[in-house]
Structures are given as structure tokens and as C-alpha cells.
Structure 1
Amino acid sequence: MKINLIYALRNIKNNPINSLITVFGLSVAIACSLIIYFYVVQEFNYDNFHKNADRIYRLNYSGRYVFGDFKDVRVEPEMADLLKKEIPQIEKSAEYRYAFENVLSYEYNFFDVQTALASEDFFDMFSFKFITGKPSKIFHNPYEAVITRELADKILAGKKNYEDLIGKGLEFPLNYTNTAFKIIGIVDNIPHNSSIEFDIVVSGKTGRNFGGCDNSFGYTSVFYQVKPNASHNDAEQNVNKFISKYYKSRIEEMQSNNQMLKTADAFVPFVLPLKDIYLAGDVNNCFQKSVDKKAL
């Protein structure tokens, strides 16, 4: 060891420029490796801040149109309530989607926002931290809204009196209803490693008052949460059977109209754990941030 050290020091002394280049190159290589490592670790740790992340799943399905195969998340919003009612292993379920209406007004001031719609269980399932308001009392009534701290700061013009906003109304001027949504909660800013992003969430009970992206099977994503001691596999099997039965007549109609192939895999439901959603970029998804796992 001592001899090797002496040799290395002598080599540096005799070839200072080459040694400097070597050390610099090695440093750059190590730095790049660390950057890549931390990036990959970050990508694989999306949504892990939710307390019940290991019990939350999203509905998905693959299918075969006559013009090509597809994977998607969009289902009917009533699916959320039906799952909780029909599947014994499920304790909570919620719809979640984006809306096209991304301009809101408050006291004649206008704000560009990412608008989302969700049902009652949403904030009970997902651990978005409330600054004010109670998750268990969210969206029991239509025309209610939860906003982020960032949006609240914009509305308050830098003031921190968040309680002053509770009960105040926000309007979407481009929405034909022009109805005020009452602020009932404010959550902290969305963590950077969240696949779910929004500035404001309004009650899903307002439904079709908001435009969105739909297909032949629906226009929202649906999540469910398994009971603490229930079998996740049993829940998955029951969910997939229920979805297949729910869409059976619709699939048959589309097959008779030559829209879908008449094969056993024309429509195959499947579920994804919450922690896998961000890396499921191969699933067509209008509502959550995602990347293709193969790109990492």
C-alpha cells in the first residue's frame, strides 16, 4: 500500500497535467453517476409520501380497437361508488380527473389554475396536508373547493390569513354555470414527487358542468383503498370481474359495430398500485403525471 502511494505521488509530480486531467475526468464521472443515481431513486419514489400508499390502487384496462391496441384509465365516475358498494375488501374509493376550465376569478381578479374534480373519499385516501379544513368533511356538498397554499397566496396577494378565505367563493367565468365554489379547505403545496397535481379541486358532484377528456368507457380515473386486513389479491380479482361485467354490453355493442376486435383480449381490466402509477407511462392517462419506465 505504501509503495503504491509513493508511486502515485511520484507519477503526479512527474506528469502533473495528465494527472490533473485524470482526476478531473474521474470527478466528473463520479458526479454524473451520483446525479443519475439520485434521479433514478427520485423517479422510483413517487407518491410514497401518502400514508396509505401501499393500500391504494388505480383502475386501468387494455383493449383492442380495430385500428390498434391501447391502455387507458378512463371509466365512468359512478364506478367509484359502485366499487365501495360491491367489493367487500374495499373501504374507500374516489374519482379524480382534470377539467378544461383553467381560469377562475375572485373579487374581479383572474388566475390561471390546474383544476381537478374529485369525490368525497379523495382527501381521506391521499395524504395532502391540510393547513385549514378537515379532510373528512370535504365534498359532502356540491360546489365546494379545496385550494393549494400557492393559489391561496396568489389570491391573498402575499398575506397569510388563510382562515379569511374559508367560506369565500371562487368562480370559473368560462363555465356556463357561472356558479361560485365555496372554499372549504386549503392544503399545503403539492410535493414534487406526486403524480397527482392540482391548484384547485372541486366536488365531482358538479360532474358534466366541466369539460374533460373522455372516451367510450368514461371520463375520469378511479382509485380504491383496500381495508387494512383485507386481501389485496382478492380485491383485485373482484374489481376486475366487476369491471368486465359492467362493460360487457358496451364491449359487445362496439364489437358488433366493428369498433373493437372480437377476441378474448378485446377488453382486459387491471389495477396498478399507487406507487407504480408514475412509471406507467404506457397507459394513456389524462389526469396524473407519468413517464415510461423503459426510458429510465
Structure 2
Amino acid sequence: MDQSNEQGALIRINTWQTNMKVNATIEKVIEQKKEIYRSDFERFLRFCEIEQREPNFDAMEKYLHESIVEQGVKYSTFNRRAAGIQYYLKDVLNLEQTPEQQKRIQIIRQLYNTEDYLRLKPIRGVRAERQEEVLSLINRYDTNKKADIRKRAICYVNLITANRPSEMVRIKISDFDLANRTVLVMLKKQGDMKEKRLTLECVNAVQKYIQSSQLSGDDYFVGAADRWGNYKNRMITERSYNRIIHEWLGFAPYTLRKTQITHMHRKKADLATIAKQSGHKSLQTITQHYLEVDNADVEEYL
């Protein structure tokens, strides 16, 4: 084989390898999204099997109607089920939804606006606490014990950034810019990276943690640790993160998120400023799901 043929063969091999890598990446993204909605679609398939229906948009309409009328699912659960089933039917099974089918499902969704089902619509979140009270809990760990230093830094960052558990477990040390009091946060839900501000006290807690555990750039900020606080560089699950925060503070991490959002609101921050720190895309979500669930201001006037 002459040199030109060898070069042509090499180019074809490189092209094939590039194509394979791209295809593998696309398949991975598709599988990740399918995994998010898998449980909702499997429930739908069980409904179709019991009712002897084909899994299509007509069956989806009947299933969502039963979800409200027979099961009494919350409005948020209904929307998640609808999104998951629709994704599978359209993007996995390649079925088309007609405008009439879309309209009928919208009508079914409007059942939540009627007197019979209106109580299923509100989302009752965990209570937002006063920030100063949460800080006093966090500062119980202001000691020189390695385990306490880790606990205080993690809780402090979670509070000030108003991060979700999925965001906390993904932060790496390299994401911090302590000189400028910022941290880059991976918003898994939105597929984005968001810069969030830190307080000086929070920065000091992080610096103390990095020094005591000798962390480097590629280490996960939360990571794992034994009972004595000895650090292990691996990403823990969101469930594990929920468990440890509950053990340390007595409530779930979402209390930290809601506490900070409510605190900023009480200090007269506008919704756009709150959204910048919390990572929300929708200002309406902040109003409906975070600010309205806090009753502390009402209680002051009762």
C-alpha cells in the first residue's frame, strides 16, 4: 500500500472513531434522560397492561385522568407523570400527539382548578427557619475537630448558596474562587453552571476545611468521610447527602435552601437577585414554592 492509501485509510479510521464517540455521547445523554422518567413510564405501562390498552397518547389521557380522580395525586406529581410519559411516547416510541389529544390533556389538568380537586394543587414545602437560628446550629461545629470543620463548611456553603442536594454533591474544590468569594455550581436540572456569591465567614469556613483535610482542586467538596472526619474523594449520592445534613442539623437540606431564599426576601432583595443566587429560572417558582410557604411573617401579626 502506498503512502497516499495509508493516509486515506488512517483518515477513514479516525472519521469512524469520531463518529462512534459522538454516537456514544448522544446515546449516553438519551439514556440519562430516559432514566429520569423511567419509573413514571413503567407505572403507565402497568396501567396499559391492566386495561389492555396500547401505550399511546389516548391511553396516556385515561391514565392521567385516573391519576387525579382515582389516585388523588398532587398537581406536581401529575405534571411529572405527564412530562415523563410524553417524552417516552414522542422521543422513544416516535409517536405523534395530535392537537386534539393535547387539548384534552389540558382540560384534564384543569380539574385541579375545580372545587373537588383544588386541595391537591398547593405544594406544602418544609418550613423555612430564621437564618440566624440556622447559623447558630451550624456554628456548633466551630471547633478544631476535623469532622466538625467539614460539617460546618458544608452546611455554611449549602445555606449561603441555597443549593439543591444535587448541586452540593457535585461541587469540586476547583469550583471555588475564594479570593473573589464565589463558587461555580453545576445546575444538573438546568444543564448549566452558575456562579454564586459567598460571605466572608463562609469563605473562612471553606478555607479551614481545605487546609484541615488537605484537599486539592479535583477533590469533591462534600466527598465522603469516616466517623472521625477522614476525607475520601468520591461523589456521594443525593440520598446520602440528605441523610447526613439531617443528622447534623436535624432537618433536610431543602430547609437550608428555603431559609436563605426567605432571608434574602426579608432583606428586601428583588426576585431577580434571589433567582441569581438560588439558580431558579422562573421567578414564579420562587414566589409559589418558596416565599408563600413561610408563615413567620404572618405569625408576627396574629
Band the TM-score falls in, shorter-chain normalisation: under 0.3
TM-score (norm 2): 0.25
TM-score (norm 1): 0.26
**Higher RCO, 1 or 2 (CA under 8 Å, sep at least 6)?**
1
The structure in which a higher percent of residues are strand is: 1
